[in-house]
Amino acid sequence: MSADGVIDVLQAGRCDLVMDGGRYGFTHLGVPVGGAADAQALRRANRLVGNADTAAGLEIVLNGPVLSFPQGGWIALTGARFGLSRSSGDGVEWDKALLMARNEQLIVGAARSGCRCWLAVRGGLVVPDVMASRSTFLPASFGGMQGRPLRAGDRLTVGAQSGAPMLCAQPPVRDESLPFRVIPGPQAADFTDTGLAAFFSVPYRVDAASDRRGVRLSGAPVAAMARGSLPSQAVLPGAIQIPPDGQPIILGWDGPVSGGYPVIAGLISADLPRLAQLKPGDTVRFATVTLDVARGLAREAMDGY
C-alpha cells in the first residue's frame, strides 16, 4: 500500500492501541480474536472518513494522546466522549468527519463519560499484518505498533485514500442504566442459591485492575458449591468467570481462549460494546435473557450495518 501521510505522536495517552476488526482464525492456537473493543464504533469512524470497514484506527482509553498531522487529513472520532481540542481552535464534533489542517494538532484529553473512543484516519493506519490483522495484542506483544501502545515520538503511517467520506453517522442509543444481559453459563448450576442471588441482584463495582483481558468486579462474593477442579474449557469475550475468591471477572477481547474457572454467565453480544465503556468505579448489574432474545437484540444492534 502506498503511504501518503503520517501522524506524529507528540504525547501518548494512557494506552493508545492500533486496532482493526480483529484477528480471526487462530483461537485454536490460543490467540483470541481481539480487535477493537467496540468493532461497530470503529467501523462507524472508518465509514465517516471513507475507509474500508477493515481499516485500522486507534483505540483510546481513559486518557488520550496529542497527535500532529503534518499533511493534515480527514479524521473521525466515535465512542465515549473525551475532552477534545484542536490547535487551530476549530470545534471538534463526535461522529462526524473532521478535516485537520496541515500541522494541526488534535488534543484528546480525559474521558468524560465511558472509557474508550476510536479514531479513524482517512486512508487507515498502516502497520504490518501479523497473523492476518493489524490489531495490537498486548498479552503476547505483537500486532499494531510493534505490539505495544503508542509512545511519544512514534510516527504512524497513513495509507492511500479510499472511498467517499460520509458526513455524519448516528451512534446507537443505549440505556446505560439497564442491567447487563446474560445467558446463564455452563456452570451456572454449580453455584449456591445464595451465590446466584448475589450475582443476579447485588450491584458489582468495576476494579481498577481491569483491562482488555478482563473487567474485574468486586462485591458480594459468588459462592460455588464444593466441587473438584474444573477441566479447562474454551471461553469467549463476555464470559463471566468466578475464581475461588468469588469476585466475578468478565473476560475481555484479549482474554484467554480457555480457562479453568467456572463460568456463571455470558454477556450477550449486543451488550459487549457496553463492556468497552465500563471504567473503574462504575457499577454493574446482571439479568438473564433467552438465546432467542439475545439473537434478536444482536440483529437489532446490527441494523444499518
Candidate ranges 25-33, 48-56, 75-83, 204-212; the one touching other proteins (CB under 8 A): 25-33
Which helix (H) or strand (E) covers residue 300, if one does? helix 291-301
Based on the shown chain and the rule CB under 8 A, indicate whether residue 25 belongs to the binding site for other proteins. Answer: yes
**Is residue 182 within 8 Å of residue 196, measured between CB atoms?**
no
AA identity, residue 42 = L
Based on the shown chain and the rule CB under 8 A, indicate whether residue 222 belongs to the binding site for other proteins. Answer: no
Based on the shown chain and the rule CB under 8 A, indicate whether residue 257 belongs to the binding site for other proteins. Answer: yes
Nearer to other proteins, 104 or 271 (CB): 271
Based on the shown chain and the rule CB under 8 A, indicate whether residue 304 belongs to the binding site for other proteins. Answer: no
Q: Binders of other proteins: how many residues, by CB under 8 A? A: 53
Cβ-based neighbours of 209, under 8 Å, separated by 6 or more: 216
Nearer to other proteins, 52 or 131 (CB): 131
Least distance to other proteins, CB of residue 233, Å: 5
Instruction: Please name the residue that has the C-alpha cell 488520550.
Output: 64
Which residue from 98, 267, 275, 276 is in contact with other proteins, where contact means CB under 8 A? 267
Which residue from 26, 95, 105, 179 is in contact with other proteins, where contact means CB under 8 A? 26
Quickly list DSSP for 153-207: T-EEEE----SPPPSB--PPP--TTSPEEEEE-TTGGGB-HHHHHHHHHS-EEEP
Query: In terms of DSSP bridges, do strands 249-251 and 239-241 run parallel, antiparallel, or are they unpaired?
Result: antiparallel
Which residue from 13, 57, 144, 266 is in contact with other proteins, where contact means CB under 8 A? 266
Between the CA of residue 192 and those of 132, 221, 263, what are the distances in Å? 43, 11, 14
Nearer to other proteins, 107 or 289 (CB): 289
Based on the shown chain and the rule CB under 8 A, indicate whether residue 29 belongs to the binding site for other proteins. Answer: yes
Ramachandran assignment for 138, one of left (phi > 0), alpha (psi -120 to 50 degrees), beta (any other): alpha
**Is residue 181 within 8 Å of residue 200, measured between CB atoms?**
no
Least distance to other proteins, CB of residue 144, Å: 12
Instruction: Please name the residue that has the C-alpha cell 481513559.
Output: 62
Q: 148-207: which residues touch other proteins (CB under 8 A)?
A: 183-186, 188-189, 193, 196-197, 200-201
Candidate ranges 2-10, 93-101, 209-217, 224-232; the one touching other proteins (CB under 8 A): 224-232
The whole-angstrom separation of Cα 76 and Cα 132 is: 25
Binding stretches for other proteins (CB under 8 A): 24-31, 130-131, 139-140, 142-143, 183-186, 188-189, 193, 196-197, 200-201, 229, 231-239, 256-259, 263, 266-269, 288-291, 294-295, 298-299, 302
